[in-house]
Chains A and B, each alone.
Chain A
Amino acid sequence: MSSSERTIEILKEQFEDEILQVEALYDFLTISLKPEKIVTIIQYLYDHPETKFQYLTTLAGIHYPDQNQIAVMYQLHNLLSNERIRLKVFLPEENPRVQTLTTVFAGANWLERETYDFFGVIFEGHPDLRRVLNVEEMIIFPLRKEYPLEDQTREDKKDSMFGR
């Protein structure tokens, strides 16, 4: 049995109900889960001797305006067996709240601040949830699809010169 099948088996032992979808995009195992117990699941994968996903590569937000959902994607890495796994949780657009991962990985602190800054995802239990890359006074969440890339107050950049 391949390592990704074993990982799915281990996950199903305890958390069969939480799994929504399993797929392998370009040989990268991607599991979509329900958001309520995601931190427990990641802690379980951290501790389990056969999976040992003890490195958080990244966590990011994705906005799906057609489904009115904002997804949070976690990429974990097992340094010993060089395996990677991607976990996705889908949150409602109007109130995207999920538990913070800082209890498992201290490095998730700024990654969650960045996801809050650009998508507005509230991480419950985060020690210091505020904007990290944008100006503190900003009121919008710029990477959501409804906001344009360009600065709306610019006067001298012609759209034709920028290919728009």
Chain B
Amino acid sequence: METVTNHSASGIAMAERPDGLEGAGFFATSLEKVVGLARKNSIWPLPFATSCCGIEFMATMGAHYDLARFGSERLSFSPRQADLLMVMGTIAKKMGPVLRQVYEQMAEPRWVISVGACACSGGIFDTYSVLQGIDRIIPVDVYVPGCPPRPEQIIDGIMKIQHLVETESLRRRDSNEYKEMLNKYGIE
């Protein structure tokens, strides 16, 4: 892939150009690559921050570890307008149905990242009241371990989400495999 350079030819790239056929005034490539490129660089997250990992997320969104440079400038607290559900923090069993409802309200394509030990597996809280991992109720794409994970690790998780977003097939959400996977969780 070539990098797109600006006029002063200083080598700064906005994004990597996918392989394609170029001519005078046109550039032809496959739709999946363009859509993947566009989606990957403009993920709008929904920060479902419950506890300490939420604070680490706040640090990640701050100016030092800036998450906005990955395209996540606009956080959305409305699931209808979000692409990525970031579950950060301990989810109690009482909170489970709420999280599930938020996930169901998101529109396709949607991704879920589970940040921190508590969201991945219940973490240090081996008790009757803590949900032992959010993947008991919703499908998860990327797990970020840590208690709490450092902002660099959260960014690493986001970059893995970006890779998933970029390489996803346009037909994946309508495929039978995906529908079966959702049925396993009881989501229509």
Contacts and interface: CB of A to CB of B under 8 A. Distances in A.
B165 interface: no
Interface of A is mostly: loop
Contacts of B127: 149-151
Q: Which of B94, B122, B128, B132 has the most CB of A within 10 A?
A: B128
Contact of A134 (B121, B126, B129, B132): B129
B132 A147 contact: no
Contacts of B130: 151
B122 A134 contact: no
Interface residues of B, number: 10
A135 B94 contact: yes
Contacts of A156: 121, 132
B96 to A, nearest CB: 8
A133 interface: yes
A11 B82 CA distance: 62
B93 interface: yes
Nearest to A154: B132
A151 B122 contact: yes
B128 A151 contact: yes
B122 A154 contact: yes
Contacts of B126: 149-151, 154, 157, 162
A72 B93 CA distance: 27
A144 B58 CA distance: 38
A83 B132 CA distance: 43
Interface in B86-140: 93-94, 121-122, 126-130, 132
Contacts of B93: 134-135
